[in-house]
Structure 1
Amino acid sequence: MSTAQYTYEKPMIRRLNSGLMNKFAGASPNQRKVKSEIAGVAVEDLVAAYGSPLFVYSEKTLRRKFRSMKQAFATRYPDVTFGWSYKTNYLKAICAILHQEGAIAELVSKMEYEKAKALGIEGKNMILNGPHKPFATLEAAVRDGVTINIDHLDEIEDLEAIATQIGQTIAVGIRLNLDAGIQPCWSRFGFNLESGQAMEAVHRIVSGGKLQIKGLHSHIGTFIMEPEAYARQVEKMIEFGYAIESAYGWRMEYIDIGGGFPSRSRLKGTYHAAEVLTPAIDDYADAICDAMWANLKSGHTPKLILESGRAVIDEAGSLITSVCSTKRLPDSTRAYVLDAGVNLLFTSFWYNFDISLGQPVNGECEQSVLYGPMCMNIDVIAESIALPALSRGDRLVVSTVGAYNNTQWLQFIEYRPNVVLITESGDVELIREAEDLGDLERRERLPARLAIAHLEKV
């Protein structure tokens, strides 16, 4: 007779709503996809070497995604430049790979500018955007030959002061916000086109006599699912560029349409697979490049700049996480606590991730909820997911998490974990070490009077 001990669990009865299958459904509700390896490396081997939770990037996927986007546009327009959006993921190894592929650095802050410089990127291969450019950063950017897109009137004054200091005219771009037919309309950044604000800014630049506009920039939003929105954007930008040329003789050298292309992540509130909902990158390239050719004057082919981000990196990133504990909620829902939560997956507030089992698990699936380790009620990775009965130590693999999670992750309650890169040859490289207490306290200072030796015993 077996002497194994079993934990008693009170039986609970729940109504089962299985729903109906449709042509868009993937696996059955009673099945959960298994992903026991990432880029050819076993999940268990990765955890054994680097711990859990663990971010894992596939170099092969990253390079493939970038080349696919580059090919889509370069075959349709003769002068295309890609600016890697640092805010999407500024891990040095990730940026270095994309710079190797030919992307320049698209930056929106002093911090990102300094990261790009530290990586060895020359100013001529940088674009500086964003609403906050400190004066000293603008000075350095001008000195380094960075492409600067002006966001507001105060920035015009700063650049004019710098131009006076150096005794020469500074070539700049100007950022526009415009109605591309989608909502919400991003009106916070740059100068509004439809209200006439953008042309007023141009007049202001002309009157100062110290700056010269050489390009236009606009970023209409994020996760744009409508390729034709970019066509409308391009048409308006080109029309405005020719209005400037007609008035002042400044021909646009570049049209920077920003980014915002979606990845294969699935937005909350959508139910079909990303492959069904998300247009192909060729659809975006067709819409944008057709609009360029349709609106440009004969013989004029300004540089087309795209600030690629999410669509390039998202699918290259995965997160391995482990079950820490299991429980039943009062309504009988099965719940699991993981060692990764919203501290590492900040974008979980907007996306339903692709979550796979890290190993085969037998048994029928039931609707469950996945919580993270934070002592916060909002720390929910999946509000409802069909899973078989999991045990402590079981692995889950969360996919399509390469965009924004490593730039927006929180140093809150838990240390941030290791990040590894699986190379094209299948080797595993550590590209960011897990944090320890020294990382947290390195910048802190404890006054001597508050040292433990001086505290009175309570």
Structure 2
Amino acid sequence: MYLHGTSKINALGHLEIGGCDTVELKKEYGTPLYIVDEHLIRQRAREYMDAFKASGLTFQVAYASKAFSVKAMCTLVEQEGLSLDVVSDGELYTAMQAGFPAERIHFHGNNKTPDEIEMALDAKIGCFVVDNFTEIHLLQAMAAEKNQTVKILLRITPGVEAHTHEYISTGQTDSKFGFDIGNGSAFEAIELASKQSHLQLLGVHSHIGSQIFEVEGFQMAVERVAGFAREVKEKLGLTFQVVNLGGGFGIRYVEGDTPLEVSQYVKAITDGVKNHFAGIGEELPEIWVEPGRSLVGEAGTTLYTVGTSKDIPGVRKYVAVDGGMSDNPRPALYESQYEAMLANRANEPAAETVSIAGKACESGDMLIWDLALPKVETGDLLAVACTGAYNYSMASNYNRIRRPAVVFVQDGQSDLVVRRESHEDIVRNDLIPARMNKQTVTS
């Protein structure tokens, strides 16, 4: 397993993250356990900030909180000077409870409800990323009722198909998101939004997908958005103050993944803006980006305890752990691949090939196929790398399995940031109707 960030093998032959021995973390917090390398997240955040500062452009880096949204993460993001993207009232509430500055919150989503919009208006967030014509009219009406003028970006689809999984590709024409440039709806939306009395149109937002390993898609998106900006300037006399080019910057999950350095992604985007937006307005637009996975993905490790095994001679050996698709549904959703090691026997050579099964009552609950490990024994600790993004946030209570705890580790200190769910938590919202408490007799 490739060791990311502060991860290393210590003198005891144990995996250590943030100066904390994973064997000791298991004793203190139990398993499954999400372990988050705080230092690595802060390092990545600073890489983005430094790269944009070097470009000389005005910018905002906003963390896409859908990747991993808890109060401690919102606090970390605020401390590093980043803005924050939310896509639901739950993510907005989390940010507000963490005391995140509302003016640095951007609200995304293709179907914001009236209740969500009202909550965001009352919080006086910094910007709405408007996704469709219905939302333009709804937001205008609700802002007018509250006598507010709200800042918006319009989400547009530039017709760029990124090289990624079809479920996380979003910039192509056939997408549930945004206004399409090619069919004219983006121009129509700009014209409509610019006439609304309680909407302040800052510019546009474009996102082409996730887990992208090359810059060509971003460069093409910049060129197409700039072409659209030029058309808007010529026909409507409007210029974009802000151009948000989304996120999607890839990370290394397994051998063969080849993500670029943060600075390479940023340079491709900022160079493209300087080249293609020159002359459209008096000044170049402010550039926003929205990294999510690339900030937190590699910083996360999930620790499991090995339970049972099943050896089918000549076919496969299954090794089951005390978690699975309830804490990591990505292999089932996207056929995602991961690397892993025995955290308590990290120096031992591989002796067998096994497949890691989860404990859910589902044949598809498989975390890793064909993993080389030392001879696995019941009670071993399995550490799965790069689970910081879309693992906790997609976790469920399937089979009424309790969701794991989350700890931040740094400089030898571990801090619980999410408690492990209890059995009481599982049934907390359950109700039994009074009529069912009456004794019934069936024949």
Does TM-score exceed 0.5, indicating one fold?
yes
Q: What SS does the corresponding residue of 1:48 show, helix, strand or coil?
A: helix
User: How many residues were matched structurally?
Assistant: 420
Higher alpha-carbon deviation: 112-121 or 84-93: 112-121
CA 1:455–1:156 in structure 2 vs 1: closer, same or farther (change >3 Å)?
Answer: same
Query: Which residues in structure 2 correspond to 1:35-74 (within 5 Å)?
Result: 36-74=15-53
Counterpart check, 1:396 vs 2:377: no
Structure 1 Cα separation of the partners of residues 125 and 320 of structure 2: 50
Show CA shifts across 1:14-47 (max 9, x none). xxxxxxxxxxx999xxxxx975222221111111
Counterpart check, 1:417 vs 2:404: yes
One-letter amino acid of the structure 2 residue matched with residue 439 of structure 1: D
Counterpart check, 1:302 vs 2:281: no
One-letter amino acid of the structure 2 residue matched with residue 175 of structure 1: R
One-letter amino acid of the structure 1 residue matched with residue 414 of structure 2: V
CA 1:389–1:202 in structure 2 vs 1: closer, same or farther (change >3 Å)?
Answer: same
Structure 1 Cα separation of the partners of residues 423 and 439 of structure 2: 23
Contact 2:34 2:301 in 1 (8 A): yes
One-letter amino acid of the structure 1 residue matched with residue 275 of structure 2: A
Query: Which residues in structure 2 correspond to 1:299-338 (within 5 Å)?
Result: 299-329=282-312, 331-338=314-321
Contact 1:214 1:250 in 2 (8 A): no
Contact 2:253 2:337 in 1 (8 A): yes
Show CA shifts across 1:94-149 (max 9, x none). 22111110111101122212222222223311111111212233234345143012
Q: TM-score scaled by structure 2?
A: 0.88
Structure number, greater radius of gyration: 1
Higher alpha-carbon deviation: 339-348 or 233-242: 233-242
Higher alpha-carbon deviation: 46-55 or 357-366: 357-366
- The equivalent residue for 1:273 is 256
Q: TM-score scaled by structure 1?
A: 0.85
One-letter amino acid of the structure 1 residue matched with residue 204 of structure 2: L
Counterpart among 426, 434, 443 of residue 429 in structure 2: 443
Structure 2 Cα separation of the partners of residues 166 and 247 of structure 1: 32
Contact 1:227 1:284 in 2 (8 A): yes
CA 1:237–1:332 in structure 2 vs 1: closer, same or farther (change >3 Å)?
Answer: closer
CA 1:81–1:207 in structure 2 vs 1: closer, same or farther (change >3 Å)?
Answer: closer
- The equivalent residue for 2:128 is 148
Contact 2:150 2:198 in 1 (8 A): yes
Show CA shifts across 1:360-416 (max 9, x none). 275752221110111110010111111222110011111111001010011122211
Unaligned runs of 5+ in 2: 4-8, 164-168
Counterpart check, 1:215 vs 2:198: no
Structure 1 Cα separation of the partners of residues 195 and 47 of structure 2: 44
- The equivalent residue for 2:391 is 405
Q: What SS does the corresponding residue of 1:420 show, helix, strand or coil?
A: strand
One-letter amino acid of the structure 1 residue matched with residue 287 of structure 2: L
Shift of 1:449: 4.4
CA 1:252–1:334 in structure 2 vs 1: closer, same or farther (change >3 Å)?
Answer: same
Counterpart among 213, 228, 235 of residue 240 in structure 1: 228
Structure 2 Cα separation of the partners of residues 163 and 436 of structure 1: 41
Unaligned runs of 5+ in 1: 1-24, 28-32, 267-271
Q: What SS does the corresponding residue of 1:398 show, helix, strand or coil?
A: strand
Contact 1:110 1:134 in 2 (8 A): no
Counterpart among 158, 161, 172 of residue 178 in structure 1: 158
Structure 2 Cα separation of the partners of residues 174 and 93 of structure 1: 30
Show CA shifts across 1:236-276 (max 9, x none). 2223223323333332111111111111123xxxxx433xx
CA 1:168–1:121 in structure 2 vs 1: closer, same or farther (change >3 Å)?
Answer: closer
Shift of 1:167: 4.8
Structure 1 Cα separation of the partners of residues 360 and 374 of structure 2: 24
Show CA shifts across 1:194-218 (max 9, x none). 1211012223334555534221111
- The equivalent residue for 2:166 is none
CA RMSD of aligned residues (A): 2.5
Show CA shifts across 1:321-373 (max 9, x none). 11101221254422211112111112233322120121227575222111011
Contact 2:309 2:317 in 1 (8 A): yes
Q: What SS does the corresponding residue of 1:90 show, helix, strand or coil?
A: coil
Structure 2 Cα separation of the partners of residues 312 and 26 of structure 1: 17
CA 1:145–1:379 in structure 2 vs 1: closer, same or farther (change >3 Å)?
Answer: closer
Contact 2:304 2:381 in 1 (8 A): yes
Contact 2:306 2:319 in 1 (8 A): yes
- The equivalent residue for 2:339 is 354
Contact 2:403 2:420 in 1 (8 A): yes
Shift of 1:454: 4.2
Structure 1 Cα separation of the partners of residues 162 and 408 of structure 2: 37
Q: What SS does the corresponding residue of 2:393 show, helix, strand or coil?
A: helix
Higher alpha-carbon deviation: 36-45 or 363-372: 363-372
CA 1:162–1:283 in structure 2 vs 1: closer, same or farther (change >3 Å)?
Answer: same
Shift of 1:168: 6.1
Contact 2:214 2:259 in 1 (8 A): no
- The equivalent residue for 1:139 is 118
CA 1:124–1:363 in structure 2 vs 1: closer, same or farther (change >3 Å)?
Answer: closer
